[in-house]
Amino acid sequence: MSNIYTASSGEIKRIQWLQLEKQLLYLQKNSGFYRKLFKKNEIDPDKINSYIEFQKIPITTKENVQEFNQDFLCVPESEIIDFVTTSGTLGKPVSFALNETDLQRLATNEMESFKMIGIKKEDVVQITTTLDRRFMAGMAYFLGLRKLGAGIVRTGSGFPQLQWDSIARFKPKYLVAVPSFLLKMIEYSELNNIDCNNSSVKAVICIGEPIRDLEFKLNSLGSKISKLWDIELFSTYASTEMATAFTECEAHRGNHAQPELIFTEILDEAGNPVKPGETGELVITTLQVETMPLLRFATGDMVSYTDEPCPCGRNTLRLSPVLGRKKQMIKFKGTSLYPQHIIEVLNNFKGIPAFVIEVNTNDVGTDAVVVKIPDSLSAEKVSLLKEHFKSKLQVTPTLEQVSLKIIEKLKSPEGSRKPLVFIDYR
């Protein structure tokens, strides 16, 4: 365990602040975008020595990074080694780049993330996610495991048969996977007489979809998986912009931050830090990044946090699962909801094989929520689901029954890296 994790929270803040000051000076020297921003707002990065001063720096938005993409570049183009794009969940994908230092930093970041889970040099890990397609995460997993010295099996995404064949051949103890893909692997194992509980796999690092609820208990997707396959599930949360992973430890009480690599703020609508347990937008400043560092970047992800010491002995801040995107906030019949609230209700209700949530603006300018569920469900089941919604959220979205085929098609639009269950038409 790296020392910073178990240091006192005061010491963690002190070490982090030193990195932050260094990054501010680096941006002043090398970033066209931030130099202009400092000048325009009469900010002298040299004089920022408290959070109150730091808070005066305007927020950087996704649109800023999109519009002034090249201005964020802090190194000559000849220094760039890896070109990537963001996943583009909202809007067009944005270009990012990494130089040698950034690739080393990314490797360290992911190594620390794997260590958090308990992965050791002697372990074998199968990466069942995309390594190519301009995707930073897949490469980060590879680099992190390589730095750790662990064994790596690069199966890539999809192909349950290849996954099971590789498990039989190379006996990985861990998988890196999108949780819903684990269900596909379980389904394949059942059809092909593979006893998944007798395999070498003991734990999975889950990306892309939450597996825990706000109380850190396995959510319905998580429990569905673990009921069928006796494996330990760890969540990890990251993005291209953050270039840093937040990962669960063996206590499974939220995703630990890596304070020497990222400065995190969780802010309310007015831009003030929220209290532990309250929901706010995650705003990050990358530390030790050279090519495209971001300062007070609004991720759009709504989370809550805790700063209490973790049973694992680490004192770093821990994030809750992401409740949804800031822009995805749904004003519905007088309630504010995030997609995860609706997804949880549907997942907790037994017997719905698939669903898609669609949000539209209706004629009176408020949000309309339609949940598409399979037409195979009986009228009785649908009315039970309505009651279930009422009891969990106090409101009931419109339920529309369509064929399973239509739902599956909506869930996997062309070019999407992960299945969609929430579609926003607003």
- Rounded Cα distance, 112 and 127, in Å: 17
- Rounded Cα distance, 375 and 406, in Å: 10
- Rounded Cα distance, 110 and 116, in Å: 10
Stretch in the footprint of Zn ion (CB under 5 A) among 187-195, 213-221, 244-252, 330-338:
244-252
Q: How far apart are the first and last CA of the chain?
A: 45
Q: Which of 24, 139, 243, 310 binds Zn ion (CB under 5 A)?
A: 310
Minimum separation from the CB atom of position 309 to Zn ion (A): 9
Which residues have a Cβ under 8 Å from the Cβ of 337 and sit 6 or more positions away?
Answer: 329, 330, 393, 395
Minimum separation from the CB atom of position 38 to Zn ion (A): 37
- Rounded Cα distance, 405 and 197, in Å: 31
Q: Which of 182, 266, 312, 410 binds Zn ion (CB under 5 A)?
A: 312
Alpha-carbon torsion 331, 335, 338, 343, what sign?
A: negative
Count of residues interacting with Zn ion (CB under 5 A): 5
Residue 238 binds to Zn ion (criterion: CB under 5 A): no
Stretch in the footprint of Zn ion (CB under 5 A) among 21-29, 117-125, 295-303, 309-317:
309-317
Length of the chain, in residues: 426
Residue 317 binds to Zn ion (criterion: CB under 5 A): no
Residues 337 and 330 sit within 8 Å (Cβ to Cβ): yes
Minimum separation from the CB atom of position 161 to Zn ion (A): 36
φ, ψ for residue 336, nearest 5 deg:
-100, 125
Minimum separation from the CB atom of position 266 to Zn ion (A): 18
What are 142's two structure tokens? 């590879």
- With 0-12 CB in 10 A as exposed, 13-18 as middle and 19+ as buried, what is 372? buried
At 371, which amino acid appears? V
Residues 248-307 that bind Zn ion (CB under 5 A): 249, 251
Q: Which is nearer to Zn ion, 131 or 251 (CB)?
A: 251
Minimum separation from the CB atom of position 113 to Zn ion (A): 12
Q: Which is nearer to Zn ion, 319 or 345 (CB)?
A: 319
- Rounded Cα distance, 56 and 308, in Å: 27
Stretch in the footprint of Zn ion (CB under 5 A) among 6-14, 99-107, 220-228, 242-250:
242-250
Stretch in the footprint of Zn ion (CB under 5 A) among 57-65, 131-139, 314-322, 364-372:
314-322
Residue 373 binds to Zn ion (criterion: CB under 5 A): no
Q: Which is nearer to Zn ion, 88 or 313 (CB)?
A: 313
Minimum separation from the CB atom of position 249 to Zn ion (A): 3
Residue 118 binds to Zn ion (criterion: CB under 5 A): no
* Residue 123, number of CB atoms within 10 A of its CB: 19
User: What does the binding site for Zn ion look like in residue numbers (CB under 5 A)?
Assistant: 249, 251, 310, 312, 314
